[in-house]
Structure 1
Amino acid sequence: MLYDAHCHYSLLKKKYEGYFIAAVSMDYSSSIGTLSLKGENILKGVAIHPWNVNKEKIEKVLPLIEKADFVGEIGLDYKYSDSPKDLQIKYFEEFVKNSQGKTVNVHSVNSWNDVLNLLIKHDVKIAIIHWYSGPKELLKDIEGAGYFITINPSVTFQEKHKIIAENASPSIVLTESDGGYVYKGKLLEPTQIPITLSFLARLWNEDEETVKRRIEINFRRAFNL
């Protein structure tokens, strides 16, 4: 079993045998789609993504948290989102305040400090900061808060992501695909996770089985399994 801690699974329209997948959502429609997914190795998240907070009513999505396994993909994006920062922060805070103690799966582009500070402010117990490529200096604070980061296949060519993988404690690292998202012209899928595992094994000077086992342990901690 391989572990994908952040995947837009409802967009992929296929099954991935041998993968345990945390399926994230972007808005009300995708949240409903995610909740309808079938499979014992699928965890279901509901959310409004920071790209969509100016298009979606939070009142429609918050009640869905009760049916979900976790909350996500929520967060802040100070680079690509057209939504005002204050509206992004409002939605983010509403989601974390209503997370019912469930894991939150977080987007944090160019907003890493604000995201971390708000998670801590609202006493979030478990958070996953996905595709973390922010300052390596924040890694100790993320670890100290008991949170996790995800590393995905872009680590093989995205230098800032590689720097994070080199400097993060392996105890906070999860693998992800961000499946369903097209990055640099390529559709990301869970089947690319083995590339990440092989790269991490070389980076950490460990054998792949050790890395796989470590990631499994981290995933189960991150989602209280």
Structure 2
Amino acid sequence: MLFDTHTHLDAKAFDEDREEVIERARANGVSKIINVGFNRETIPTTMKLAESYDFIYAAVGWHPQDAVTMKAEDLDWIEELCNHPKVVAIGEIGLDYYWDTSPKDVQQRVFREQIRLARKVNKPIVIHNRDAHQDVVQILREEKAEEVGGVMHCYSGSWEIAQACLDMNFYISFGGPVTFKNAKQPKEVLARVPLDRLLIETDAPYLTPHPHRGKRNETGYVTLVAEAASQIKEISMDEIARITMENACKLFSITR
């Protein structure tokens, strides 16, 4: 049974067939899902999903692209939601230097505030990192993120950055890009990540794996990520499923 540790089933892309998408995921062996709410619009819809399905859990946080919109009361709201039994992490949080939607200094401040909140409420963090590797690692170190740990979501960086994150009690998660034929670096990093720190995800509806690239991603396609990990690690699909399920349940304090 597979655990998709990062998806967005509340996205508008699923408005026409959300129920069918969830059923297909279940039919493909996905038994646990974390849906991620990352701003004022998606946190409520994420919570609704988590409350509607016993196998869907929630991560709530403020995305770096939306950092400029976050107010003090939003941080209080996230803290309050961390008392909910289905909220298992704070995220996705981090830095995104690719999209110019929030100034870097604002992103960094909001990132730090949420790491401090995670330490206060003792929740792991889900990290979004795009073109900001060194700053992400520096802030994680300065804010003592190793006290709660977390996951580097849809990892795309170098082995050196991955190693720094592993040293800070983080798991490394891979999504659709690791299935791409030209994805040399993600494959090389996955090969080196210890099995007890490996996670898989879809980030649906984004980052669709091969051979569906260019179409809408679905949670059920996490099987394709698991297959790629199985080939790279040279172990069976059953082992990948078992290991990544155990890892996710341990990180997010979920009973199997």
Say which of 113, 123, 128 aligns to 1:107.
128
- Aligned pair in 2 of structure 1 residues 131, 82: CA closer, same or farther (>3 Å)? same
Check the 8 A contact 2:177/2:207 in 1, yes or no: no
Question: Cα–Cα, structure 1 residues 62 and 218, in superposed 2: closer, same or farther, change >3 Å?
Answer: same
Partner of 1:86: 105
Counterpart position of 2:84: none
What corresponds to 1:9 in structure 2? 9
CA distance in 2, matches of 1:81, 1:150: 25
Cross-structure match for 1:45: 59
Q: Does the 8 A contact of 2:226 with 2:237 survive in 1?
A: yes
1:221 Cα shift? 1.6
After superposition, the C-alpha distances for 1:198-224 in whole angstroms (9 at most, x for unaligned) are 111111111111111111111112102
- Residue 239 of structure 2 corresponds to residue 210 of structure 1: yes
Q: Which one of the candidate residues 121, 145, 149 is aligned to 2:172?
A: 149
SS in 2 for 1:10: coil
State the AA in 2 paired with 1:29. Answer: E
From the superposition, tell whether residues 197 and 182 of structure 1 become closer, same or farther in structure 2 (CA, over 3 Å). Answer: closer
**1:131 counterpart SS class:** coil
SS of the equivalent of 2:67 reads coil
| 2:195 alignment partner, one of 163, 166, 170 | 170
On the 8 A contact 1:48/1:58 being kept in 2, the answer is no
Q: Which residue of 2 aligns with 1:77?
A: 96
* Residue number in structure 2 paired with 1:200: 229
Calculate the aligned-residue CA RMSD, in Å. Answer: 1.8
Amino acid at match of 1:86: D
Distance 2:162 2:60 in 1: 26
Quick one: structure 1 residues 121 and 193, their matched pair in 2 at CA, closer, same or farther if it must change by over 3 Å? same
Q: What CA distance in whole angstroms lies between the structure 2 residues aligned with 1:182 and 1:220?
A: 24
Checking the alignment, whether the CA contact within 8 Å between 2:94 and 2:107 is kept in structure 1 is yes
Query: Which one-letter code corresponds to 1:143 in the other structure?
Result: L
C-alpha change, 1:112 and 1:199, in structure 2 (3 Å) is same
- The aligned amino acid for 1:165 is L
Aligned to 2:142: 121
Task: For 1:81 and 1:105, locate their aligned partners in 2 and report how far apart those are by CA, in whole Å.
Answer: 21
Runs of 4+ in 1 over 4 A off after TM superposition: none
CA contact (8 A) 2:4 2:219 kept: yes
Normalised to the residue count of structure 2, the TM-score between the two structures is 0.81
Instruction: State which drifts further: 52-61 or 172-181.
Output: 52-61
| Pairwise CA distance, 1:59 | 2.4
Q: Contact 2:75–2:114 at 8 Å: present in 1 too?
A: no
Q: Pick the structure with more helix per residue.
A: 2
Partner of 1:35: 47
What's the CA shift for 1:65?
Answer: 3.2
SS at match of 1:148: strand
Q: Structure 2 vs 1, CA of residues 118 and 2 (structure 1 numbering), >3 Å: closer, same or farther?
A: same
- Give unpaired runs (5+ residues) of structure 1: none
**196-205 or 9-18, which deviates more:** 9-18
State the secondary structure of the residue aligned to 1:128: strand
What residue in structure 1 maps to residue 34 of structure 2? 22
Q: Distance in 2 between matches of 1:6 and 1:47?
A: 13
Take 1:58 and 1:49, find their aligned partners in 2: how far apart are those partners? 15
